[in-house]
Amino acid sequence: MLKSVFVPIHRAGWPFIAIFAAIAVGMAWVWPPLGWIGAILTLWCICFFRDPPRVTPLRDGLIISPADGVVQLIDRAAPPPELDMGEEPRNRVCVFMNVFNVHVNRVPIDGTIAATHYRPGKFFNASLDKASEFNERQSLRLTTVEGRDIAFVQIAGLVARRIRCDVAAGQLVKAGERFGLIRFGSRVDVYLPDGVEPLVVLGQRTLAAETVLADLGGTEPARTGEIR
């Protein structure tokens, strides 16, 4: 019970929590009722930077969601050109994170980080399709043990102003490991290898490091779903 309430906080969040708390104290000093507003905002900041442990499926070939949120878009698109993965469209799954989701991002599959590239850009609403092309982004290319390439891209949103990426080219990573976060509201796109179909549907909620997005060895066709 206590573990479900007192979840760990990502180390990158503590400076922001301290700033929010200091502002709350200042607001309370100016006018006590304002202090309650500041306290609520501080609690939200703590909630934003929570970093709960997750249980990651370990079967070879599973591609796991890198982000908490909602599957906002499934389509075919070419990976970011800076990753040198060609111009052929691939199946793409876009997970949108609102300001109440956990924003710590996780590695989708075991492998080696083959390339990373940061590109500054604009700050359109991350739920819009054009955000993947024009917004600030951090692109990563991962090569699995079998030699298959996957791209995943952190995209800043309307109020996001900082993408954090803690992995570098040449680094070995495992599915479910933390690799970065985005402040405050954003999305992560995953570009699947050729011939791999998504195992999630539009509107489905995902948990980073737990929800299976696709299976490299699967033969199941693209899934459909409905609200019930």
Respond yes or no: is residue 186 known to be catalytic.
yes
The per-residue b/e assignment along 176-208, b for 16 or more CB within 10 angstroms, e otherwise, is bebbbbbbbbbbbbbbbbeebebbbeeebebbb
Q: How far apart are CA 95 and CA 131, in angstroms?
A: 12
Q: Give the whole-number percent of the chain exceeding pLDDT 90.
A: 61
What pLDDT score was predicted for residue 225? 86
What pLDDT score was predicted for residue 182? 85
Given a cut of 70, whether residue 45 has pLDDT beyond it is: yes
pLDDT tens readout for residues 180-223? 988 766 889 999 999 899 999 999 999 999 999 999 998 888 88
What pLDDT score was predicted for residue 10? 85
First and final CA of the chain: distance in angstroms?
Answer: 29
What pLDDT score was predicted for residue 151? 97
Residue of 65, 132, 139, 186 marked active site? 186
What pLDDT score was predicted for residue 126? 59
User: Helix, strand or coil for residue 134?
Assistant: helix
Q: Which residues contact 147 (CB under 8 A, 6 or more apart)?
A: none
| Rg of the chain in Å (alpha carbons) | 18
Element (H, E) at 54: none
Q: Which residues contact 148 (CB under 8 A, 6 or more apart)?
A: 193, 216
pLDDT tens readout for residues 68-124? 999 999 999 999 999 999 999 999 999 998 888 888 999 999 999 999 999 987 666
User: Helix, strand or coil for residue 205?
Assistant: strand
What pLDDT score was predicted for residue 224? 86
What pLDDT score was predicted for residue 161? 60
Q: What pTM did the predictor assign?
A: 0.88
Given a cut of 90, whether residue 129 has pLDDT beyond it is: no
- Helix residue ranges, H only, 79-195: 131-134
Q: How confident is the model at residue 62 (pLDDT cuts 50, 70, 90)?
A: very high
Q: How far apart are CA 171 and CA 46, in angstroms?
A: 30
pLDDT tens readout for residues 143-184? 999 999 999 999 987 665 678 899 999 999 999 999 998 876
What pLDDT score was predicted for residue 131? 62
Q: How confident is the model at residue 5 (pLDDT cuts 50, 70, 90)?
A: low
